[in-house]
Amino acid sequence: MAKTYIDTVKYVISANIEIGGLVERPDVVGAVFGQTEGLLGDELDLRELQKNGRIGRIEVDIQDRGGKSVGRILLPSSLDMVETSILAAALETVDRVGPCDARVNVEKIEDTRNTKRKTVVERAKTLLKTLLATEIPESREISQLVRQEVKTAEICEYGPEKLPSGPNITTYDSVIIVEGRADVINLLKNDMNNVIAVGGANVPKTLAALCREKEVTVFLDGDRGGDIILKELSQVAEIDYIARAPTGKEVEELTRKEIIKCLRGKVPIEQVTENSKPKQEVPYQPRHEQYQPRQEERPHYRPPEAQPAQPPRVEESALQDITKISTEVEPPQMLLTSLNELENTLRARIYDEQLALKYEVPVRDLIKTLTDAAPIYAVVLDGIITQRLVDLAENKGAKILLGVKLGNIFRRPEDMLISAKF
């Protein structure tokens, strides 16, 4: 069908024609008009309908094939479907074109409005995709901004010092202590409401009292200021865990992913208090003595002045092969296995002389448990061996101390085996 009629007609009659000779296109058109003239009356006469614009130009596509002519006839119509169907039936009455026999077969009557509907549907799809790609994200962005503003509006004040905090801070079992108001706002925006700020280097009494009632995680900036606040907090408040922002970054700058990563990497306060002491208090040690590589056949320490080997201490237990630290020994395999079992648990085990398990506690409770415990023989922990732990274990008569890493150990008992994985 010619494009001339695509916007003006309702239907298109599509018919196939086969002629028993070679003819031209005008011959076919003339035969159609001539053989239908007067067939349907004046109201449906093709010539009159074409003059009045009720039908369009008859399109004929004819080709020669083996001494015959075959082709296609397209007749555009703006009549209703009944009158168009009558015209289609009239086309099939054409049985000659010139001197040749002919046969016309109407294949279909196509509603051209379907084409328009398809165009409308395709265009609607394109517009919808554009809407989803450009407009909807902007709406989500607005929603996010509103949500953040609501979170910011939820910031409250706690205690007579009016410390910035999340809403209903007293209803949570655990709290996160940060440095300032901007840090509180950033955590509130990331759906962490159990947060409160110190508000300065001086720790308020209200905050110290709150720390005695809750499990406390201190979340500090990765700079010198964070070290100062940690020192002040550790002196007046009961802290359970420490989390730090990456070096050079502040908590208020962190993204949600960075905040979650830092809080997951928190460590018990016992593992960092020793390392937070001023460096001038710790005598110099060669690096290989502070952090010794893992070795299977050697202990981690020898006295500076080698002494003659002492007779092995004979026990009535499975520890008869353990000698003083001055000889080349290694911990019993049972304790090494126990250390591997504790990996990534942040727990500690305490054994008696028969290698019977007396206590298994979180690392953060190890100091308190050792203080109240009777004499012991070995301590195995998934944590850092500090000088404070060494001194307390020595006071309790411990002979073996196994951990994950060695801290700043500047005094080691000669009769205690101290060993670490790293």
CB 418 within 8 A of CB 406: yes
d(CA 387, CA 399): 15
d(CA 336, CA 402): 8
- Topology annotation, domain 156-268: Dna Topoisomerase Vi A Subunit; Chain: A, domain 2 (3.40.1360)
Kindly give, in sequence order, each residue whose CB lies less than 8 Å from that of residue 16, ignoring residues fewer than 6 positions away.
70, 71, 72, 73, 104, 105, 107
Same fold, 156-268 and 309-420: no
Sheet holding 417-420, edge to edge: 357-362, 347-351, 378-381, 400-403, 417-420
Report pLDDT for 4.
Answer: 44
Closest to 302 in 3D by CA, of 286, 320, 324: 324
CB 195 within 8 A of CB 166: yes
**138-to-131, 144, 149, 191 alpha-carbon distances in Å:** 10, 10, 17, 22
d(CA 49, CA 52): 5
3-state secondary structure of 279: helix
3-state secondary structure of 373: coil
Number of CB atoms found within 10 A of residue 66's CB: 6
d(CA 404, CA 336): 11
CB 203 within 8 A of CB 270: no
**All structural domains of the chain with their residue ranges:** 3-111, 156-268, 309-420
Domain covering 309-420 in this structure, CATH number: 3.40.140
The DSSP output letter for 204 is: P
Mean pLDDT per 10-residue interval, the chain, length 422 residues: 54 91 90 87 86 87 89 90 90 89 91 86 88 65 63 75 87 89 87 85 81 88 80 82 88 89 87 55 42 45 46 39 43 89 89 91 89 91 88 91 85 88 76
Report pLDDT for 48.
Answer: 86
Domain 3-111 of CATH type 3.30.70.60: yes
